[in-house]
Amino acid sequence: MRDALKNNSGTFELQDKLREVISPFLAEDIARTYDNVSRRLSQYSYESQHLIKRVRSDDNKVKKELEHDERYVRLLYHTMKKAISARAEFVCKEKQNSLNKL
């Protein structure tokens, strides 16, 4: 994911890579959320390992946009957490099955 965000990778390219390791449903979910986040982050500048967006303090519309940006980033992390948990559970079950066969 980090590489995809850094390199501004395409959504379908990311989805194809994710399908190799997680379910197609989760891969699609992450790719869709990634697309929203990457579009929003393109409006930020990158300074000293921080994302910066300068706005006027009296512009309520832009403040709302910042809140939406935050929600989309949180949603991306939540979706990635679900996928990582599902993948870890799958790997543990497979490991258990292989140990039971011994």
Average pLDDT, consecutive stretches of 10 residues, N- to C-terminus, the chain (102 residues): 82 91 92 93 87 89 93 95 91 89 80
Please state, in angstroms and rounded to a whole number, the distance separating the CA atoms of residues 64 and 40.
13
**pLDDT value at position 2?**
79
Do the beta carbons of residue 55 and residue 66 sit within 8 Å? yes
Per the rule left: phi > 0, alpha: psi between -120 and 50, beta: everything else, 93 is alpha
**pLDDT value at position 42?**
87
pTM > 0.85: yes or no: no
**pLDDT value at position 100?**
87
**pLDDT value at position 102?**
77
